[in-house]
Chains A and B, each alone.
Chain A
Amino acid sequence: MTPPIVDLDHVWRVYRTGRVEVPALVDATLRVRPGEFVAIVGPSGSGKTTLMNVVGCLDRPTAGVYAIAGTPVANLGDDDLAALRSRTIGFVFQSFNLLPRTSALENVATPLLYQGVGRRERHTRATAVLERLGLGDRLSHEPSELSGGQQQRVAIARALVTEPALILADEPTGNLDSHSGAEVLALLRALHAAGRTILLITHDPTVAAAAGRQVHIADGRLAA
């Protein structure tokens, strides 16, 4: 049987500021199976971002075991985590996080650059993904020349271009008007329908409703 894409097993993340220990993630256990669309819902300060950092391999758990697509992240160095992110995770951020003064095409092609993919293939693959998301006529536009909705679609294209095991979307509609937000959610649903595994993190229950399964988070604790 294929392993779960996300496998959090009694994971803690504790921050230390001076002598004070702040547990941001408390005994979190979560499994996301291939092809699932899961939403993590919780108010700000509930530990959502910490969860996303751990799941996204930007951070390591203080305790517990986390494996992504069958690979345990314990004992991995920074560069191993970077390689793991490159292969298995596509990020979609609230504030898009596109490279400024860089064309949509180059933005989408950037993850492939760090995988060592040649220039021509990078451009072919990036163009294909952008065209699939309806941005075929925006290839040479820079982020500042695109609307918020378009920027987020470019960001989703960048997340998709490496064919990752998991799309990790952190408040993807947070900076968008309701119309663009609805479009982005529709796009995520369409990706899910096409077989993608998606973990969506949001404070907004109506956004979370787009997902197939919702997991609530409060004070660092997960509850189904």
Chain B
Amino acid sequence: MNLLELVRLALARLGSSRLRAALTMLGVIIGVASVIALVSIGQGATSGITASLEGLGTNLLTVTPGASRSGLTRGAAGSSTTLTLDDANAIGEIETVGAVAPELTTQSLVVAGSQNTTTTIVGTTDAYLGIRNYSLWQGSFLTDAAVANSLRVAVLGATTADDLGLGADSIGTQISIGGLPFQLVGILQPKGSVGIANQDDLVLVPITAVRHHFVGGDNVRAIDVSVRSADEIPLAEAQLEQTLRARHGLTGAASNDFNIADQAQLLDTVSSITGTLTILLAGIASISLVVGGIGIMNIMLVSVRERTREIGIRKAVGARRGQILLQFLVEAVTLSVLGGIAGILLGVLVSAGIANAAGWALVLQPATLALAVGFSALVGVVFGVWPARQAAVLDPIAALRYE
């Protein structure tokens, strides 16, 4: 009596009470489907967040000024004005650094024709585009010459351009920033948000123009640094710190008057959080798989009771204990595996629907699917073995007399 015979017997049996079989399988179906959907959602969310973080910039380090101190009072981070354009130039000399873009930001009213919006004005250099992973949609970006001559030219983020009703045909027109006329030279491709920060709502102008017309002084708000390669980020960070400490005259135990933010670190933190969440969700979902298994055990126990006479007949005509055991076990496993397969289909559908709605890629790992089938088979064995044993050890005389 081989496995195929047993599966055929089990399928014939399940086919004769389809509604019961379907309801029994439902527990496993829901369990497997929720495991698959939740794992897929977790992985999809992770890859979505990772992608948008990577969009911040390539191998990006951001240097910001530290907190200012007046006497014993520590001011807010970024409140000191210790970073200068010369710092930025010095950082550019470090061998592991690929590119540097200083940032000097202010808020200002921007007017184009009858439309206006208040947004962030970022004074920077031509390196900014590459470091922050922006790309141009229309026109050109800030040039070296524009920065050197503090020309009043502006490049708009996609959202800002939208707010102002500016499109491809607006390149070359005049807009007003803080009451001063600027020439619109380019519009950026939209990049999306990181958290609540919309990276597309900004106006980029030469850093020299901001200094002349809006802020004054020599300090900068931030310095974006692109490291040559990902492997060199820790080295670059150390060199950066060394360079800035030397330039700022900080020795011995004096604490840094600047901060260096590492995008890779942020990425690691986010991945570990989402990874933990995924495991948590899958853990909760697998509880429902266990509940489904108990449902199978329950039905198999009822089934053994109902089929006592049938078991007696089978034993009378020569079935050995092992054969009866195997028959009922295969029936339970068939139930759970069929449930598992249906659960996979349902889970994939749900994952695809959610991925579609959330706008991230559908992540389905074959290992997850294989694991789901394997686990549901295991559920069938674990919860099927006891009812099957009950069937196997029935006394044929009593079983035949059972009404």
The contact string, 1 if C-beta is below 8 Å from chain B, for chain A 64-95, is 00000000000000110011011100010100
Known: A101-B16, A113-B1, A119-B5. A158 touches B321 (CB 8 A): no
Q: Tell me, in angstroms, the Cα distance from A52 to B318 when the chains sit together.
A: 16
Q: Tell me, in angstroms, the Cα distance from A59 to B312 when the chains sit together.
A: 13
Chain A interface residue number, banded = 20 to 34
Do B400 and A86 touch across chains, with their CB atoms under 8 A apart?
Answer: no
Interface of chain B residues 302 through 348 with chain A (CB within 8 A)? 309-310, 312-323
Residues in B whose Cβ lies below 8 Å from that of A110: 314, 317
Check: A116 CB closer than 8 A to any chain B CB. yes
Q: Tell me, in angstroms, the Cα distance from A189 to B397 when the chains sit together.
A: 27
Residues in A whose Cβ lies below 8 Å from that of B317: 85-86, 91, 110-111, 114, 158
Which of A59, A83, A99, A101 is within 8 Å of B318, CB to CB?
A: A83
A145 to chain B, nearest CB (A): 14
Which of B16, B318, B320, B322 is the most central at the interface, judged by chain A CB atoms within 10 Å of its CB? B318
Q: Tell me, in angstroms, the Cα distance from A183 to B379 when the chains sit together.
A: 51
Q: Tell me, in angstroms, the Cα distance from A179 to B323 when the chains sit together.
A: 39
Residues in A whose Cβ lies below 8 Å from that of B12: 102
Check: A97 CB closer than 8 A to any chain B CB. yes
Q: Tell me, in angstroms, the Cα distance from A79 to B309 when the chains sit together.
A: 19
B8 to chain A, nearest CB (A): 8
Q: Tell me, in angstroms, the Cα distance from A93 to B317 when the chains sit together.
A: 11
Known: A97-B309, A110-B314. A82 touches B320 (CB 8 A): yes
Which of A82, A87, A93, A162 is within 8 Å of B315, CB to CB?
A: A82
Do A113 and B316 touch across chains, with their CB atoms under 8 A apart?
Answer: no
Majority-rule SS of B interface residues: helix
Check: A100 CB closer than 8 A to any chain B CB. yes
Check: B396 CB closer than 8 A to any chain A CB. yes
Q: Tell me, in angstroms, the Cα distance from A126 to B310 when the chains sit together.
A: 19
Do A58 and B321 touch across chains, with their CB atoms under 8 A apart?
Answer: no
The contact string, 1 if C-beta is below 8 Å from chain A, for chain B 363-403, is 00000000000000000000000000000000011001000
Residues in A whose Cβ lies below 8 Å from that of B397: 53, 58-59
Do A114 and B5 touch across chains, with their CB atoms under 8 A apart?
Answer: no
Do B400 and A115 touch across chains, with their CB atoms under 8 A apart?
Answer: no
A52 to chain B, nearest CB (A): 10
Known: A93-B400, A100-B310, A101-B16. A114 touches B318 (CB 8 A): yes
Q: Tell me, in angstroms, the Cα distance from A79 to B323 when the chains sit together.
A: 10
Residues in B whose Cβ lies below 8 Å from that of A56: 316
Known: A53-B397, A58-B397. A86 touches B313 (CB 8 A): no
Known: A113-B5, A119-B5. A97 touches B314 (CB 8 A): no
Q: Tell me, in angstroms, the Cα distance from A114 to B16 when the chains sit together.
A: 22
Known: A58-B396, A59-B397, A93-B400. A115 touches B313 (CB 8 A): no
Which of A82, A99, A110, A116 is the most central at the interface, judged by chain B CB atoms within 10 Å of its CB? A82
B331 to chain A, nearest CB (A): 14
Q: Tell me, in angstroms, the Cα distance from A87 to B320 when the chains sit together.
A: 12
Further pairs besides A85-B317, A116-B1: 18, Cβ < 8 Å: A58-B400, A79-B320, A82-B315, A82-B318, A82-B319, A83-B318, A83-B320, A86-B317, A97-B313, A98-B313, A99-B310, A99-B314, A102-B12, A111-B318, A113-B1, A114-B317, A114-B323, A162-B318
8 A–B contact pairs at CB < 8 A?
A: A78-B321, A86-B317, A91-B316, A97-B316, A101-B16, A102-B12, A114-B320, A158-B317
